[in-house]
Amino acid sequence: MAALEIQNINKFYGATQALFDVSLSVGTGEFVTLLGPSGSGKTTLLKILAGFEPVSAGAITLNGQDVTKLSPETRNFGLVFQGYALFPHMTVFDNIAYPLRVRRVGRAEIAERVSAILDLVQLGRFVNRRPNELSGGQQQRVALARALVFKPDLLLLDEPMSALDKKLRTDLQEELRDIHRSLGTTFINVTHDQEEAMHMSDRIAVMDQGRIEQFGTAFELYRQPKSRFVADFVGKSNILEGVLDRSETVAIFRGHGVELALPGCARKGGPADLLIRPEDLTVTREPATHGAIGLPARVLHSTYSGDRALYTLAVEGAPEFLAYGAARSGIFDDGESVTISFTPDGCTLVG
């Protein structure tokens, strides 16, 4: 049974429509991320879930209860803001205890619950500090603890790590995932960071222009994108525009000098986009091996990242290609002539 059902949500601001028939079914205890560029509608949807924005049409149910018109304070949802929103004059203990005191929880139970959640977020020794005495990552954990201490039915996270440096973001992603597994609370996270979404989420809803383009696991979005937008937005990609020619026995993609048979392809013929991820390309100084498609290319520039290099390559008659290559024994020079090659099992037809 789904914990959260979002049914045909539409949102208008005057004559401008921000959300178009958005529907999602989120399972109990799932970690779901709304992912998309600025203006895609993900934050608007989160505000509607929190009760900060009314819907223009549609319904929201949680565990079978219609919460569409409930006020924010009666929804029993936790919310972690991008800017933490901690009370600067309160200690860590008092910040976390605040929602319990508002609910008139007894003093002994408050102490017990705050102690337990402080252990979970590993902040027990900072209990008497104020926010200005904490690092950004510690403040974020206090905000998370405050949102979880009253045992919400749903936790909403509004880009909670966007203000942190990359190393700290990565560490907190691990911690947040562990906390989610420990509690089993349903999480809805909003971010524009693809790595964050793919690392933490059970499923991801990719949004664009107020619509959900695809809802699935990280693997499904990356390896089985249902639209060109998803293929281009999630991860790095090479997309070749062409035509799929079909016979009774074989489907052949043709475009930008590439002719590639696709065994097992059931799609109808017609215009098609071929997706090749950078890690599915091989960059060598030698010709392509038997069974692979090889294209002569020139290295435009490379980005070295220790374990591998990312190459931008020029191919005559085609868009620039991106390809990863091993960097243990050095990298190709800018301007060097190389061969890029790939096989059908590294290609996906999009849309």
Question: pLDDT tens digits, residue range 320-334?
Answer: 999 998 877 678 999
Predicted confidence (pLDDT) at residue 224 exceeds the cutoff of 60: yes
pTM comes to 0.91
**Predicted confidence (pLDDT) per residue in 139-167, tens digit:** 999 999 999 999 999 999 998 887 777 77
What is the pLDDT averaged over residues 85-97? 95
* Residue-level pLDDT at 2: 63
Please, which residues have CB within 8 angstroms of residue 117's CB and are 6 or more apart in sequence?
96, 145, 148, 149
Q: What is the Cα–Cα distance from 156 to 206, expressed in whole angstroms?
A: 17
Spell out a b/e string for 295-312, using b for 16 or more CB atoms within 10 Å of the CB, else e.
bebebeebeeeeebbbbb
Which one-letter DSSP state was computed for residue 344?
G
Q: What tokens does 208 get?
A: 């664009």
From residue 199, alpha-carbon distances to 15, 31, 46 in Å are: 38, 11, 20
* Residue-level pLDDT at 306: 81
**Predicted confidence (pLDDT) per residue in 254-263, tens digit:** 998 888 888 8
* Residue-level pLDDT at 171: 82
* Residue-level pLDDT at 164: 75
Helix (H, G, I), strand (E, B) or coil at 205: strand
Predicted confidence (pLDDT) at residue 253 exceeds the cutoff of 70: yes
Domains of the chain: 2-229 (3.40.50.300), 236-350 (2.40.50.140)
Predicted confidence (pLDDT) at residue 1 exceeds the cutoff of 60: no
Predicted confidence (pLDDT) at residue 290 exceeds the cutoff of 90: no
Lowest mean pLDDT among 59-68, 191-200, 235-244, 325-334: 325-334
What is the pLDDT averaged over residues 79-92? 91
Lowest mean pLDDT among 15-24, 84-93, 103-112, 165-174: 165-174
Which one-letter DSSP state was computed for residue 103?
T
Predicted confidence (pLDDT) at residue 232 exceeds the cutoff of 70: yes
